[in-house]
Amino acid sequence: MLRASGVQWDLRKVDHYECYDELDWKIQWQKERDSLARYLVRIGEMKESVKIIQQALKAIPGGPFENLEARRLNQGKNSEWNLFEYQFISKKPSPTFKLPKQEHYVRVEAPKGEYGIFLIGDDSVFPWRLKIRSPGFINLQILPQLVKGMKLADIMTILGSIDIIMGEVDR
């Protein structure tokens, strides 16, 4: 929504997280502030994502690897790889750590905007408060301004260009 309004903002460039600084990619943006601009930004993001994936694949170090899941599937149902001991191979356990008694906010770039998680810790394994800020809920807030003065048939196009997921906005 923001990039279709002429603002060149992407958390991957702003916060410099993961390996995005090592890859060659551009922020997709448009300045028209309409449904077509949101569509063009989405198409441009898909093209940039393909470029990022191609560069990331080239950066993966070489060397031998073993795909235990493929070995299990190749040997069929009666394979020893289907026994209980091997059931959880390649599945990582969730980390367990204490959250300090303070507030934490983490944000990442998501397909529809900024995805944020706010935690308040109380020196235990479980957070005292947890709030997830999904981009769909934030994007929906501008809908009254977008549909003002529009024809009824335009509302479906506008809703489609916002690409909201109702499961995110039911709060």
**pLDDT 10s digits, 57-112:** 999 888 777 777 777 777 777 777 677 776 666 666 666 788 899 999 999 988 88
Q: What is the pLDDT of residue 93?
A: 65
In this structure, is residue 19 part of a structural domain?
yes
21 located within any domain: yes
Q: Tell me whether residue 56 is in a domain.
A: yes
pLDDT at 104: 92
Residues 41 and 112: their CA atoms lie apart, in Å, by 11
What residues have CB less than 8 Å from 142, skipping those under 6 apart? Answer: 1, 162
Give the three-class secondary structure for 5.
Answer: helix
| Other Cβ atoms closer than 10 A to 150 | 11
Average pLDDT along the chain: 86
Q: In this structure, is residue 1 part of a structural domain? A: yes
User: pTM to 2 decimals?
Assistant: 0.74
Q: Does the residue 85 lie in any domain?
A: no
Does the residue 15 lie in any domain?
yes
Q: Is residue 44 part of a domain?
A: yes
- Using CA atoms of 137, 97, 14, 19 in order, give the dihedral in degrees to the nearest 10: -120
Question: Range of 3's domain?
Answer: 1-61
**Which of these, 118, 169, 117, 119, lies nearest to 139 by C-alpha position?**
169
| Whether the predicted pLDDT of 20 surpasses 60 | yes
**How many domains are contained in the chain?**
1
User: Torsions phi, psi of 40, nearest 5?
Assistant: -65, -35
Distances (CA, A) of 105 to 54, 77, 121: 31, 45, 11
Classify burial at 141, counting beta carbons within 10 Å of its beta carbon; exposed 0-12, middle 13-18, buried 19 or more: exposed
Q: Dump the DSSP string for 15-47.
A: S--TTGGGS-------SS-SHHHHHHHHHHHHH
